[in-house]
Amino acid sequence: MNRRPLLQLLLLVLPILLMLHPRRAEASLFQVSPVRLDLNAQASNGLLTVQNQSGEPLRFQLTAFEWKQTPQGEVVLQPTSDVAVFPAMVTIPAGASRKVRVGVLVPAGASEKTYRVIVEELPSANTGKINGVKVLTRMSVPVFFAATAPSSRPGVEGLSLQQGQLRFQVKNGGNTHFMNTKIRVVTRNSAGQQIQENALKGWYVLGGDSRHYDLTMPLSSCAGMSSISVEIETDQGSDSATLGVSSSGCQR
């Protein structure tokens, strides 16, 4: 049997197979601590420690942004000159760490100022040694600059049910952020017995802002429903609101 045509076919197909085979993805290992900075007029700067936990040198760029949020909880970042980061670019040897100073350059005001420092890994200066696909990572560190007279007032507002859609807002009536640690939506019958409970994911609510929620109520919650309660727990207190309803509110 003449194996020459078979060998020629294998030599032709093998490079194609190698190109189609996924290469190993390598993600760098690094940590940033602390995970947030709380600054004020008396202590307007702090230190971040970037630790390289990989087996090769890593390069980083650190950039400060003003941090706002939409009513849906989406993070909005804008470049800012309010915050200085030094050094803004660092190269850290394998297994080593580097401290970076973060300072707020503006005076404290009536409302808390909120920023984020993005720690972004840069491509290696020696790309020839990388075996596989290098996944560059980034971390976002919240920076809170306290108001002159801090206050947080969590509350539940605007609770309504129409055509099966439950809507409400978690309002921060103060000038300083809080973190929702638990949000519960509970339906009860006319005897006050619980029918169903839904847990929603919490997040930061910045000073003066509100977080809007829009939840489709399952039909199983509507049978015999007499009331809906929304209960929130935050690191700055708790609140709740109850709405008297009927199963007709779930009609779509």
Contact in structure between 71 and 211 (CB atoms under 8 Å): yes
CA distance 50 to 65: 18
Query: Looking at residue 28, what is its pLDDT?
Result: 58
Contacts of 16 (CB under 8 A, 6+ apart): none
C-alpha torsion sign, points 165, 197, 228, 220: positive
Instruction: Kindly report the CATH number that applies to the domain delimited by 154-243.
Output: 2.60.40.10
Superfamily name with CATH number, domain 24-145: Immunoglobulins (2.60.40.10)
CA distance 133 to 16: 18
> Read out DSSP for 23-53?
PPEEE--EEEESS-EEE-SSS-EEEEEEEE-
Contact in structure between 157 and 210 (CB atoms under 8 Å): yes
Model confidence band, residue 21 (pLDDT cutoffs 50, 70, 90): very low
Same fold, 24-145 and 154-243: yes
Query: Looking at residue 167, what is its pLDDT?
Result: 95
pLDDT surpassing 50 at residue 7: no
Query: Looking at residue 3, what is its pLDDT?
Result: 54
Tokens representing 209 are 């802002």
Query: Looking at residue 24, what is its pLDDT?
Result: 40
pLDDT surpassing 70 at residue 112: yes
Compute the average pLDDT of residues 235-250: 87
Question: What residue spans define the domains of the chain?
Answer: 24-145, 154-243
Say what the pTM is.
0.82
Tokens representing 150 are 């801090």
User: pLDDT higher for 48 or 201?
Assistant: 48
